[in-house]
Amino acid sequence: MARSIEEPRNARSRRSRAALLRAARELVEEHGMGATTMAAVAERAGVSRRAVYLHFASRADLISELFDYVNEVEDLEGRFAPVGDAPDAVAALEVFARRHAEVMPRIIAVSRAVEREAGSDPDAARHWETAMYWRYETNRALITRLDEEGALAPGWTVGTATDMLLALISNGVSTTLLDERGWTPEQIGEHMARLLRSTFVAGG
């Protein structure tokens, strides 16, 4: 009997936690990190501040978990899994370009908001540091595979190619193409794949 009671409680707790994280994401996207306070999250989720603190010890804790929440909701691990499954590094590079183009419209709002305030908000800074670490390590693994398979173009090292790839997939580039130039994710994926091949692959 105790177990059957505990399981619904746990399920309710997970739903409540997810609702708070969803509210936090909406606030970040709509109003920025500065407006994403515990009180604002409580109001958006329709609960008391005490209820928020039952799940998150502090705003820092809430913002920290927001990174994992966005990744889970958008299934970033699953979306990028085909990159690792590609038969060779050149194919992996193309899959990466297309998957990144698909993902960015879904996360660009929250990512830009966090990046914008990382210099002044310590919680945003920690979130952004985590996001950039994930991007960097993903990029480095991709470039390392190119190098190990002998496909990395002359003139590049793993380090310089990783840094350049990080710049090419930055929020600024995505914003320019999506918002300012009106490109579709399909267009970005196609042309980014072409750019990455011609830039990083020996022989183009």
* pTM, rounded to two decimals: 0.86
Query: Is there a domain that residue 123 lies in?
Result: yes
Instruction: Give me 130's structure tokens.
Output: 């985590």
Query: Is there a domain that residue 55 lies in?
Result: yes
Residue 7 has pLDDT above 50, yes or no: no
> Cβ(136)–Cβ(169) under 8 Å?
no
Count the domains in the chain.
Answer: 2
The C-alpha angle with vertex 111 and arms to 83 and 158, in degrees rounded to 5, equals: 45
pLDDT for 32 equals: 92
Residue 204 has pLDDT above 80, yes or no: no
CA dihedral 2, 5, 9, 11 (to 10 degrees): 110
Backbone angles phi, psi at 152, to 5 degrees: -75, 130
Tell me the C-alpha distance between 49 and 12, whole Å. 18
For residue range 64-116, what is the model confidence (pLDDT) as tens digits?
Answer: 899 899 999 999 999 999 999 999 999 999 999 999 999 999 999 999 999 99
pLDDT band at 8 (very low <50, low <70, confident <90, very high): very low
Instruction: Tell me, yes or no, whether 97 and 192 share the same domain.
Output: yes
pLDDT for 1 equals: 45
> Cβ(25)–Cβ(32) under 8 Å?
no
Query: Is there a domain that residue 69 lies in?
Result: no
Query: Is there a domain that residue 124 lies in?
Result: yes
For residue range 10-60, what is the model confidence (pLDDT) as tens digits?
Answer: 777 888 999 999 999 999 999 999 999 999 999 999 999 999 999 999 999
For residue range 145-188, what is the model confidence (pLDDT) as tens digits?
Answer: 999 999 999 999 999 999 999 999 999 999 999 999 999 999 99
Instruction: Tell me, yes or no, whether 99 and 194 share the same domain.
Output: yes
Q: Domain holding 138: CATH number?
A: 1.10.357.10
